[in-house]
Structure 1
């Protein structure tokens, strides 16, 4: 049964940052203590371990317009997920991880690879659905050194139909930690060959002189070994002279550029805005907000769009 989603809870790190061994979840052996840490009780956790009625499921359009299934926790499970996510987000992550960190973004991820020679861009196919319950159990049991029963409860609480949900606050941090051995092995390969590596959720980028077809083959072998799949349609090997697309940003030599696709969408939106810009209160219209939002997004890559936002505000009726 689908339930109405409640207001999204915020992840609370309270400014804390520590190693995995300093996490309250580390070496947790008591179910009662787990319930206290999650600000709940054992009876409630037992109820929330079940998939039934604890998720709001629906379809949304993903990249390219393809439908994708979204699973959002509800009925109290969202509070548990928010608490677990808050604890996980306090654990220090490797420098190569660019997602889920303050001051980092898809743009900072692309920025690492400025001036790159050869580059490999790829991603993990169906990253959240392919991160299975046994991977979570392994993380909690082996990496966090929880007792088997505590790891079992946490694994049930954090999965639906045997995998990480796609629409929860735990999805991104837990998917990283559950696959951290794979990412670490890829990083060691990169260090060995003087290659720069970054991870942005499910996107992996490698740049350097040693990035070639053999490097790509070894990368794929490592990913497959860890029961994940390198997406065949989203894997590209770039030569040094080519413009490179990295997490939605174009890298050309030492410059970051906005994608042509973004320019085309902005042009289309601006044409709609021109038709209503002289109408009273046009600045408060949805189309004006859409154009301004798109320009702000593009200004992170190219600062000239900040001036365009100012121009639009001045020339639009209030």
Structure 2
């Protein structure tokens, strides 16, 4: 009995295999694929060539492209039913807004395979025009800029963003790119994880395989999973004469006074679109900011153009000033393990809107090290 035959029997239970049913399709159903889904199993080499993607027709092709054996691929993509994901280190970290975020760090061989999938496949597929997070040439600055100088800015959060994007969606993404079912299943299994039971409460109760936050493939897959959502929300924004952008799970709409007068009609339609696309808005995280108040988008104030908030700049300048007397570590009140590196990250954040100040702050930081 080959490795994959043994693995299939372990996953599905001993017994006679289903007649005329490919082994990888059986495992796919175990991974959470509904039997009612229409199987779009065709490999479409012309579409792959059009997108500049590797022409992988079988799992053997995928294994060769990854530079590993077929057995190693099956071991990475189709792990046995373990209580803990065998190819990840999972841990919960506190969020600034309260609660915890579950991060998954893929282990060596899986991480290397995921990096190949990202580099050779996902990085070659452009996200929607509305997506500004995890997209080359886009940033929090490009996400905030379209909302500058508007009469009203509305920000909303998608709840349990990565856990909501399940194996079924991910497999569908790879099939939409032109991969046949066999390869799409293997790719989707490489890029998803079955959540450990003890962590499900932090993941919205998700039990099925999902995108692991922390894997190199997850940000790009999340953007691709939102293509239809972005298209529908951009269309809704055009209908109401407002602007829409998305940065990861942060949705932003802005417009003039005429748009503000339509909010009673706009908001129910917005909720309806999000729900129909399989997502959910986080309760209590919808914020309205009119021109007279501070309007903030992805950490930048946009009342008169994207800029880092003054209070943020003041706090960083105070840390560096005090560190000249006490040393850097005395200012590390949150016990950050790489405090100097974190401060440099804050300076780079400031550089996006205040480049001259960033140069000065960076020089001060270097003088302290």
Q: TM-score scaled to structure 1, two decimals?
A: 0.80
2:9 alignment counterpart: none
CA RMSD of aligned residues (A): 2.9
Report if the CA contact (8 A) 1:120-1:216 is conserved: no
CA contact (8 A) 2:242 2:254 kept: yes
Higher helix share goes to which structure? 2
Does the C-alpha gap of structure 1 residues 203 and 109 become closer, same or farther in structure 2, counting only changes over 3 Å?
A: same
Gaps of 5+ in 2: 1-46, 80-84, 195-208, 329-337
Do the aligned residues in 2 keep the contact of 1:269 with 1:287 (CA within 8 Å)?
no
Corresponding residue for residue 312 of structure 2: 262
1:62 to 81, 89, 95: 95
Please give the residue correspondences for 1:1-318 in structure 2 after superposition, counting only pairs within 5 Å.
Answer: 21-24=50-53, 28-51=56-79, 52-64=85-97, 66-86=99-119, 87-141=121-175, 143-161=176-194, 162-209=209-256, 210=259, 212-252=263-303, 254-259=304-309, 262-263=312-313, 265-266=315-316, 269-270=319-320, 272-276=322-326, 291=343, 293-306=345-358, 308-309=360-361, 312=364, 316=367
TM-score (norm: length of structure 2): 0.69
Q: Is the 8 A contact 2:344 2:362 kept in 1?
A: no
* Partner SS, residue 118 of structure 2: helix
Aligned pairs, number: 290
State how far apart, in whole Å, the 2-side matches of 1:189 and 1:92 are: 22
Deviations along 1:90-133, one digit per CA (max 9) or x if unpaired, are 11233222122333211221112111222221121121111111
Query: Which shows bigger deviation, 145-154 or 76-85?
Result: 145-154
3-state secondary structure, aligned to 1:119: strand
CA 291–167 in structure 1, closer or farther in 2 if over 3 Å, else same:
closer
Question: What is the deviation of 1:262?
Answer: 2.1
When Rg is computed on C-alpha atoms for both structures, the one with the higher figure is 2
Are residues 306 and 261 of structure 1, via their aligned partners in 2, closer, same or farther at CA, if it must alter by over 3 Å?
A: closer
Distance 2:74 2:340 in 1: 49
| Contact 2:324 2:368 (8 Å CA) reproduced | no
Mark the CA change 1:241 to 1:19 in structure 2 (over 3 Å): closer, same or farther. farther
Is the 2:320–2:364 Cα contact (8 Å) retained in structure 1? no
When residues 19 and 117 of structure 1 are mapped into structure 2, their CA distance, relative to the original with a 3 A threshold, is farther
